Chain A
Amino acid sequence: MRRYASSTSRLAIAALAAVTLTLTACGGGGDDSSSATATEVKLYNDKGAWKTYFEGVGKLSKEQIGLGVTPVGYTDEPTYEAFIKASFRTNNKPDLFTWSTGGRLKEIVDSGQVADTSDLWKDAIANGDVSKELEPYYTIDGKQYCVPANVSYWVMFYNKKVFSDAGVQPPTSWADLIKTADTLKAKGVTPFYQTSVLFSFVWFQQLLIGTDPQLYNDLATGKAKFTDPKVVAVMQQWKDMEDKGYFSDPGSKDQPEAMLKSGKVAMGLFGTWFNTNMTTQGMKPDSDYGMFVVPNVTPSLPTTTVAFESGPLCSLTKAPNPEASTKFMKWWVQEKAQDQWANSRGDVSANPKVQIKDPSLNQLNKDAGEGKYALANRFFEAVPPAVLTAALDGFGAFMVDPGSFQKQLETIQKASDDYWKSN
């Protein structure tokens, strides 16, 4: 009988030990932030290099609305995307996070997790804090989501010294640009930067929006095919440029800003956010380098088309503290916040009231605001994610083997067919 009792108590102790361990393991994940005392918002972003700029805005927001910012930066895109998506299904959710517009925004909005910001947009447009033109990029099924984290125009950055040494000026027509490229090439300078990693779509985008902006939009919405003879002609033109040796090595591990600075490469097509890369490389805007809008390939088009991108700052319906997130986003779109955010990075702002300090950037921003350019949504956001992945691979492979363009277009079209069949 004693034995029996002792084995029972042993069993009890063991069970208790197991239960305690399990409970300890599960008990760690409590959320202790309460809405009344929120003084910080965690801002998750895939722009790890912009930490100081986020902190700069955070310092200002702390002063003005009592909410500081803790930036949580990622640099690897897949990791970041997987983390944000996983957070939708767990309790570990960001207060705010950066994302992209277009198909990727629609995808997360469709999951019902992204906070509706329609009221915020209505007020911001009424106050003149956000231009009405931006609204469509943030509208899904009639409602607005997120706020603009950044806006950028895609322009050509060029090394001024290389240009003056070669005796060339920023071109005013496509023919002029090609002539410039020839001159530079003859001087032993590689005219254009290109890369097969991630930004492999850039030249396709530029050539197509300058040739047929409508076709570009139709490709993005699945109304036109990548194998369309006009698209093939654009690829043929791109191939000719590759064959003439206009482009840098697509697989180079050198940073584009370093290549532009050394003068190895004369020009590079980037969003205006690239300004930050150039200045951190120690180059001075307007004296060391300049920027120009790329002229249309087809001269008869009425307006010059410029690629445009806008990245959102979002919050979730089940954010840890929805009031704090909303409060921050309301402040974020206003002039003071945007002045700090845009000018510290040297980019344009989504808020038209912000005075941009960099003169050529300011001119560009003004021209665009006055409707001098037609804007095309950047390829990255314009096409659905599945098509984008195929296209980035296809263009990357094309750069290495330009003769393969027909095959690449067919592969991309297959991804497009697959996507539009089920969506």
Chain B
Amino acid sequence: MTATTSATKSRRSLGTGWSALGFISPAVLVVAALLYAPFLYTVFYSFTDYDGLTSPKWVALDNFKKFLDDPALTTSVRNTLFWVVGTTIVPVAIGLLIALLSYGIKGGTLLRLPFMLPYALSGAGLGVIWGFILQSDGAANDLLRLLHLPGADISFLQQAPYNTIAMIVAMTWQQSGVNALLFLVGLQSIPTPPLEAARLDGASGFRMFRHITWPLLAPLTTVVVGLSLVASLKTFDIVWVTTQGGPGRSSETLAVTMYRDAFVSSDYGYGSAVALVLTLVTGAVTVAYLRFQIRGQEKLR
């Protein structure tokens, strides 16, 4: 009897397992077809020479070797680093500042509103609008000339590295507001007792921020910086719309290089290799950053 029961049980669980698999299989198939397959294909193509017409030819590590000795890629890596540094530090700092200065004062929402508005724009929209502002002898030059500031004669989108810097400024204009919003959520979630205790102890101003607010904001800072980091590594839309990575490939980021090599030069193998490297770098940086941050916070506790 016992034997029969256990046999039935195991059959049943087996049956449930298979039927469950049957029910989830459509979803698994969709995920496999839309997410895993393209990724694995990209990995495969990165080891081939593939023009999109004839069959891919296996070239082992040639694409990655070419990578190391491609001057366009050096520029691209340098620009991507600019983007990482520029858009993780400046917009996060400005966002924090806006949040801190406008938090808890009367009319703070109204003061923050203009910083939030640019977020309504898509990356492409941002590129188009700033493209007009920054074009040679455009609005930016006019403004600088009017104010007798240096830089009135710079073609912001034409001359490297000004083109990358100018686009980072545009991105900062858009991103600071969102970061402020996130920091504000963080500030609101800080419990009042430690703040009051600190105030009773006579802390205020910068000391209050340095020793109380900043450490308590840390979890949120981790998220904001992490998001900015990933976003900056994959910068594509604004560059493609504004300069298409030009002139002469001078403002390309890794994501733009990837797109150009694959779709403009029809060198899908090389484009895939760039994509793979970009993915690995983004993954590695994110993991390293999160590890570092979480460890830091644990120490804090």
Given contacts A85-B266, A107-B51, A252-B135, contact A397 B248 (CB under 8 A): yes
- Among B15-37, those with CB < 8 Å from A are 15-16, 18-23, 25-26, 29
Taking CB atoms, residues of chain A closer than 8 Å to B29 are 22
User: How far apart are A97's CB and chain B's nearest CB, in angstroms?
Assistant: 14
B53 touches A85 (CB 8 A): yes
User: How far apart are B270's CB and chain A's nearest CB, in angstroms?
Assistant: 11
A197 touches B244 (CB 8 A): yes
A21 touches B158 (CB 8 A): no
A4 touches B8 (CB 8 A): yes
Within 8 Å by CB of B53, from A14, A107, A251, lies A107
- A117-125, A361-369, A388-396: which lies at the interface: A388-396
B248 touches A393 (CB 8 A): yes
Taking CB atoms, residues of chain A closer than 8 Å to B279 are none
- Among A255-304, those with CB < 8 Å from B are none
Taking CB atoms, residues of chain A closer than 8 Å to B287 are none
In the assembled complex, A17 has its CB within 8 A of some CB on chain B: yes
User: How far apart are A412's CB and chain B's nearest CB, in angstroms?
Assistant: 11
Rounded to whole angstroms, the CA-CA distance of A309 and B29 in the bound complex is 48
Q: Mark B244-264, 1 if CB is under 8 A from A, else 0.
A: 101111100000000100011
Given contacts A393-B249, A398-B248, contact A85 B52 (CB under 8 A): yes
In the assembled complex, A96 has its CB within 8 A of some CB on chain B: no
User: How far apart are A230's CB and chain B's nearest CB, in angstroms?
Assistant: 23
User: How far apart are B178's CB and chain A's nearest CB, in angstroms?
Assistant: 27
SS of A interface (majority): helix
Taking CB atoms, residues of chain B closer than 8 Å to A13 are 19, 22
User: How far apart are B49's CB and chain A's nearest CB, in angstroms?
Assistant: 10
Rounded to whole angstroms, the CA-CA distance of A393 and B260 in the bound complex is 12
In the assembled complex, B283 has its CB within 8 A of some CB on chain A: no
In the assembled complex, B58 has its CB within 8 A of some CB on chain A: no
- Among A221-266, those with CB < 8 Å from B are 249-253
Taking CB atoms, residues of chain B closer than 8 Å to A393 are 246-249
B52 touches A82 (CB 8 A): yes
Residue of B nearest to A404 (CB): B248
Within 8 Å by CB of A251, from B54, B136, B263, lies B136
B12 touches A3 (CB 8 A): yes
User: How far apart are B121's CB and chain A's nearest CB, in angstroms?
Assistant: 18
Within 8 Å by CB of A22, from B11, B15, B26, B264, lies B26
Rounded to whole angstroms, the CA-CA distance of A250 and B247 in the bound complex is 9
Rounded to whole angstroms, the CA-CA distance of A401 and B26 in the bound complex is 56
A15 touches B8 (CB 8 A): no
- Among A72-104, those with CB < 8 Å from B are 77-79, 81-82, 85-86, 88
Taking CB atoms, residues of chain A closer than 8 Å to B11 are 4, 7
In the assembled complex, B137 has its CB within 8 A of some CB on chain A: yes
Residue of B nearest to A7 (CB): B15
- Among B165-216, those with CB < 8 Å from A are none
In the assembled complex, B109 has its CB within 8 A of some CB on chain A: no
Taking CB atoms, residues of chain B closer than 8 Å to A251 are 135-136, 155, 157-158, 247
Q: Mark A1-19, 1 if CB is under 8 A from B, else 0.
A: 0011001101101110110
Rounded to whole angstroms, the CA-CA distance of A107 and B259 in the bound complex is 20
A11 touches B19 (CB 8 A): yes
Rounded to whole angstroms, the CA-CA distance of A389 and B137 in the bound complex is 28
A196 touches B247 (CB 8 A): yes
Rounded to whole angstroms, the CA-CA distance of A22 and B250 in the bound complex is 47
Given contacts A4-B8, A386-B265, A397-B248, contact A108 B137 (CB under 8 A): no
B131 touches A7 (CB 8 A): no
B18 touches A397 (CB 8 A): no
Taking CB atoms, residues of chain A closer than 8 Å to B26 are 17-18, 21-22
B159 touches A400 (CB 8 A): yes
In the assembled complex, B71 has its CB within 8 A of some CB on chain A: yes
Taking CB atoms, residues of chain B closer than 8 Å to A88 are 53
B54 touches A389 (CB 8 A): no
B264 touches A78 (CB 8 A): yes
B18 touches A408 (CB 8 A): no
CB pairs A–B below 8 angstroms (8 shown): A7-B11, A15-B22, A78-B264, A85-B266, A86-B52, A88-B53, A251-B247, A397-B246
Nearest 6 interchain pairs by C-beta: A397-B248, A14-B22, A7-B15, A396-B247, A14-B19, A78-B263
